[in-house]
Amino acid sequence: MTYKVASLFSGCGGMDLGAEGNFEYQNDFYKKLNTKIVFSSDIDKYAVEIYNDNFEHKSILGDIRELKSTLPEHDILIGGFPCQSFSIVAQNPPRLGYKNDNGKLFFEMIDVLENKKPLAFIAENVKGLLSANKKQAFPLVLKSFKDAGYHCTFKVLDSSNFSIPQKRERVFIVGFRDLIASNKFDYPESIDKKSHLKDVIFSENEVDDKYFFSEKAVNGMLRNQEKMNKGRAQDPESFCNTITAHLSKASLNSVDPVLCIEGRYRRFTPREAARIQSFPDSFQFKVSDTRSYKAIGNAVPPVLMWHLMKSVIRALEQ
């Protein structure tokens, strides 16, 4: 059976690439899974542009609140819903409210589950969701998924355990309509083979001067380093800290990861950021650096998603 997958908040397609498979990363081949993406969309024009440069099927540009009625039937729903700002303080009994428009988007996933009743879903979010609102938000998020008719589990997965050279902890919620499938489901095991930053970065002479910080910025940072804990230079022998969506603004004053090789400080190139996120080199980013960094930093690492989707399919097929 080929499982039809609908993807919400698809961004540039990190989650979707992993959900489909059929790509190479760091000399390993991630085989095609028994899936077919039948819907994907995002509200960000440039993320959709990147997506459509890389996938045969096309992502639709638009607001999911307006597009959701057009969703086709599907078997698996996937989505990294935008980080939430729920308001649940001073409510009795506590329930999920919205602090702003973004806070409502999680309910779009719930809506689709209630209306389309796919066999399973995978939702992703930052680990901070577990502690948000004095730990009151997450149980309510989980309850909403359960109330939509799903047997749910959740787990924090760290990309560095899946041959990805990045420490990136994200919470994944996986739900099945069928209790037997849910009982058969296990989150993917850590992979023994580790990948480190040095495996994916370019040598310094391959990197354009524009990615290096000026002498003035470096001297300023060095003067204040002890006082301000600046200069988040990463160890090439180890995993990179989490790549974020604002890497284009990485400065020596910020907490964003940077490199310091033989005394020269620089930011990662978009291709390096993509590799740190486990995108294959065949995945193209034709938009500006700033827009590329944003889409890359927002993405679910394809390799991690591949392992998770494989586990979900295994549970459905048993």
Ligand X SMILES: C[S@@+](CC[C@H](N)C(=O)[O-])C[C@H]1O[C@@H](n2cnc3c(N)ncnc32)[C@H](O)[C@@H]1O
Among positions 84, 160, 163, 298, the unique one binding ligand X when judged by CB under 6 A? 298
Is 159 a residue that touches ligand X (CB under 6 A)? no
| 50/207 with CB nearer ligand X | 50
Q: Give the N- to C-terminal CA distance of the chain in Å, as an integer.
A: 12
Q: Considering the candidates 83, 152, 240, 260, report the single residue annotated as catalytic.
A: 83
Kindly tell me which of 218 and 287 has the beta carbon lying closer to ligand X. 287
Q: Which helix (H) or strand (E) segment is 153 a member of? A: strand 151-158
Q: Does 299 contact ligand X by CB under 6 A?
A: yes
247/11 Cα distance (integer angstroms)? 16
Q: Does 10 interact with ligand X (rule: CB under 6 A)?
A: yes
What is the rounded distance in angstroms from the CA atom of residue 294 to the CA atom of residue 11?
Answer: 10
Q: Does the footprint of ligand X cover residue 21 (CB under 6 A)?
A: no
One of 33, 88, 129, 300 touching ligand X (CB under 6 A): 300
- Residue 170 or 266: the one with the smaller Cβ distance to ligand X is 170
Among 34, 38, 43, 117, contact with ligand X (rule: CB under 6 A):
43
Least Cβ distance, residue 82 to ligand X (angstroms): 5
Choosing from 3, 5, 6, 15, the residue that interacts with ligand X (CB under 6 A) is 15
Q: How far apart are CA 301 and CA 273, in angstroms?
A: 11
Binding-site member from 64, 200, 240, 287 for ligand X (CB under 6 A): 64
Span of 43-51, 115-123, 188-196, 281-289 interacting with ligand X by CB under 6 A: 43-51
How far apart are the C-alpha atoms of 244 and 297, rounded to whole Å? 4
**110-115, long-range: CB within 8 Å, 24+ apart, which pairs?**
110/144, 110/145, 110/148, 111/68, 112/6, 112/8, 112/68, 112/71, 112/77, 113/77, 113/145, 113/148, 113/149, 113/150, 113/175, 114/148, 114/149
| CA nearest to 74, candidates 55, 57, 61 | 57
Listed ranges 12-20, 68-76, 169-177, 261-269: which one lies at the site for ligand X (CB under 6 A): 12-20
Q: Which is nearer to ligand X, 160 or 259 (CB)?
A: 160
How many positions of this chain bind ligand X (CB under 6 A)? 21
Residue 153 CB neighbour total at 10 angstroms? 15
Q: Give the pair of three-digit tokens for residue 43.
A: 């509200």
Active site residue 152: no
Q: What distance in Å separates the CA atoms of residue 172 and residue 78, rounded to the nearest whole number?
A: 10
Phi, psi for 276 (deg, rounded to 5): -65, -25
Question: Binding segment for ligand X among 3-11, 28-36, 171-179, 216-224 (CB under 6 A)?
Answer: 3-11
- Map the footprint of ligand X across residues 82-101, applying CB under 6 A: 82
**Of 3, 5, 6, 12, which lies in the binding site for ligand X, with binding defined by CB under 6 A?**
12
Which run of H or of E encompasses 221?
helix 215-228
297 binds ligand X (CB under 6 A): no
Helix (H, G, I), strand (E, B) or coil at 259: strand
Site for ligand X, residues 103 to 142, rule: CB under 6 A: 105
**Among 28, 63, 114, 186, which residue sits at the site for ligand X (rule: CB under 6 A)?**
63
What is the enclosing helix (H) or strand (E) of 227? helix 215-228
Catalytic residue list: 83
Binding site for ligand X (CB under 6 A): 9-15, 41-44, 47, 63-65, 80, 82, 105, 298-300
